[in-house]
Amino acid sequence: MRKLEILKNVGSSWVSLGINIMIGFFLSPFILHRLGDAAFGIWVLIFSVTGYYGIFDLGIRSSVIRYVSKFTAVEDKQGLAKFFNTSLATYTLIGLAVTLITLIGSYFVGSMFQIPPDFLPTARLLFLIVGLSVAIGFPLGIFAGMLEGLQRFYLLNFTNIVSLVLRAILTVMALRRGYGLVTLGLITVLLPLLSSVARAVLVFRILPIPIGWKYVDRSVFSEMANYSGVTFVIQVAYKLRFKTDVVVIGKFLGSAAITKFSIGGRLVDYASEVVSSLAQIFLPMSSQSDAKGDLNQLRKIFVAGNRACALVIFPVTAILVILGKSVIEAWVGRKYVADSYPVMLVLLLPTTLILAQNATPRIIYGMAKHRTLAWITSIEGVANLILSIVLVRWMGVIGDAIGTAVPLSFTALYFTPRYLSRLLGVRVWTFLREAYVLPMVLCAPLVAVLLAMRQWFPVHRLIPLAIEVLLAMTVYGAGLWWAVRTRRVYEVGDLASSELLAAETTEMAESLTEQV
């Protein structure tokens, strides 16, 4: 039953993500060519800047997932009601603050960035529309987190799919009729808000939670703040890590240069989303295991979860590295290959190392052991911003990408594999062997096929490219099917180090002695 639930959640997440990627893959060049480089750059810039509003979440979203899964596991209805109402009240206040910031920020858009004078009124109005929608989305967003905490990802994904399809249809219709950035912005922000309303209806049908000020509790807020505060620091660091590039380029190189960067960066984002849609299930799973004190189950999630992430990201990375130029040419045109492919390559390699370990931070969140993670990601984020500012003036958009890649590589190679291994008492090399040998072996035939096809059958169009990718993934799929049939995908060896086993044995003996 548990495997079926996981398959429903992961399968629906990948269907939703697949539709999102397909729509984005076909819609992005359509929008780009209809709007032009300057307008498209403003579009990316406004959404990137308002994306920083995510830091006002203050880490509450992760606490919603953790505590909803915890309270439902122990059937604490009163605790759940207090947590829900306290979170909802907090999100409402945050939404009001974001509204005020948006009203002020829309006035200063022209002075903050190099925006052509003809586009300035449109940029201000677009900033206002997107910012206000984010403000409204804060209190409504709690219901998406609750569905994740309830491990009902398939309901969350169903609403996503409906929203994505409708948004794509309306976008194409609007652009073909000559509408511009403002109409496009309204379509983009209104449909997610309607999806949030639908999620609220679903949550209340699953959990009839009472609403009222009497359930807003100061002690619950303090407990939530203790957990969320550390998460907030991590979120700020993530914004510095991944969301400063567009702002830095917009400040120093202008909005047209954003287009060159965003094409390569968007391909990396697609790869990241594929893995994240899988890894999201590990937070509520690890939270429940931690609440039950099941350390052995946490170790299995640690290894099997990261192995699953590697099985997904390794073939995607191989395709983008080997066929990346063909992908960009078939997607948006040959003129973008020279600038966008190097950006994609510089960002992709360290991102792959992080994504192959994407279960790790979810488990750390689930165990509420993320304070050290906050320090490391903060240092990385600040280093990213400083390096990007320095290098973008010297090397252009590729310098900005290098500024992101260097700190990211350090975290991926040094911190991430070691920290949770120590917490769970697993030797680092044991973890690396158990998690990554099988994905690397299965990817070897895929890489050979991709290299052969690039050499013998170079492609420049979308349909031949899709055929080559399908053939290569068929080879990979055959190996993966063999691994599933022989259960090698699920096998997890003896993970605990001898020192930890000795400590656990001693602790158990002491406990038995006390009982006697």
Q: Which token pair is 403? A: 């500024």
- Alpha-carbon distance of 40 to 125, in angstroms, equals 15
- Residue 16 — very low, low, confident or very high, per pLDDT cuts 50/70/90? confident
pLDDT of residue 112: 66
Q: Is pLDDT larger for residue 114 or for residue 340?
A: 340
Residue 150 and residue 77 share a domain: yes
| Percentage of the chain lying above the pLDDT 70 cut | 86
Number of domains in the chain: 2
Mean pLDDT across 149-158: 79
- Alpha-carbon distance of 88 to 210, in angstroms, equals 12
Residue 478 inside a domain? The answer is no
Of 66-75, 285-294, 417-426, the range with the highest mean pLDDT is 417-426
Alpha-carbon distances, residue 460 vs 28, 454, 464 (angstroms): 18, 11, 8
Residue 399 and residue 290 share a domain: yes
For residue 34, what are the domain limits?
A: 1-225
Residue 255 and residue 122 share a domain: no
247 neighbors 257 (Cβ within 8 angstroms): no
Mean pLDDT across 342-359: 91
Instruction: Indicate if the pLDDT at residue 504 is higher than 50.
Output: no
- Residue 264 — very low, low, confident or very high, per pLDDT cuts 50/70/90? confident
> Based on C-alpha coordinates, what's the Rg of the chain?
24
Alpha-carbon distances, residue 432 vs 211, 306, 417, 492 (angstroms): 47, 10, 8, 12
Residue 313 and residue 174 share a domain: no
Residue 453 inside a domain? The answer is no
Residue 218 and residue 125 share a domain: yes
What are the DSSP E strand ranges found in 296-430? none
What is the average pLDDT value for the chain, to the nearest integer?
79
Domain end position, chosen among 380, 411, 441:
441
Residue 486 inside a domain? The answer is no
Residue 260 and residue 135 share a domain: no
Residue 78 inside a domain? The answer is yes
Residue 198 and residue 254 share a domain: no
Residue 462 inside a domain? The answer is no
- Alpha-carbon distance of 60 to 410, in angstroms, equals 28
- Residue 118 — very low, low, confident or very high, per pLDDT cuts 50/70/90? confident
Identity of the amino acid at 392: V
Alpha-carbon distances, residue 189 vs 16, 120, 129, 139 (angstroms): 18, 20, 8, 15
Helices (H), 74-180: 77-105, 109-112, 120-140, 142-149, 153-176
Residue 484 inside a domain? The answer is no
Q: Is pLDDT larger for residue 120 or for residue 342?
A: 342
Instruction: Indicate if the pLDDT at residue 498 is higher than 70.
Output: no
Of 97-111, 129-143, 436-450, the range with the highest mean pLDDT is 436-450
Give the least confident one: 31-35, 79-83, 219-223, 461-465: 31-35
Domain end position, chosen among 411, 441, 471:
441
Mean pLDDT across 30-39: 71
Cβ neighbours, 10 Å, residue 104: 9
Residue 161 and residue 15 share a domain: yes
Residue 299 and residue 220 share a domain: no
Domain end position, chosen among 441, 471, 489:
441
- Alpha-carbon distance of 428 to 364, in angstroms, equals 16
| Percentage of the chain lying above the pLDDT 90 cut | 9
Residue 259 and residue 111 share a domain: no
Exposed/middle/buried for residue 108 (C-beta within 10 Å: 0-12, 13-18, 19+): exposed
- Alpha-carbon distance of 321 to 327, in angstroms, equals 10
Of 134-148, 175-189, 319-333, the range with the highest mean pLDDT is 319-333
Residue 57 and residue 185 share a domain: yes
- Alpha-carbon distance of 35 to 180, in angstroms, equals 7
- Alpha-carbon distance of 392 to 404, in angstroms, equals 11
Give the least confident one: 101-115, 119-133, 276-290: 101-115
User: Is the Cα dihedral 254, 255, 256, 259 positive or negative?
Assistant: positive
Residue 292 inside a domain? The answer is yes
Q: Residue 427: what are its φ and ψ, rounded to 5°?
A: -65, 140
Q: Residue 177: what are its φ and ψ, rounded to 5°?
A: -90, 5
pLDDT of residue 255: 63
368 neighbors 227 (Cβ within 8 angstroms): yes
Task: Report helix, strand and coil shares of the chain as percent, to nearest 5.
Answer: 85, 0, 10
Can you tell me which residue has the tokens 């169903």?
158
Q: Is pLDDT larger for residue 218 or for residue 475?
A: 475
pLDDT of residue 494: 62
In this structure, what is the dihedral angle of CA atoms 220, 226, 227, 232, given to the nearest 10 degrees?
Answer: 120
Give the least confident one: 275-284, 313-322, 351-360, 411-420: 275-284
Residue 472 inside a domain? The answer is no
Residue 412 and residue 266 share a domain: yes
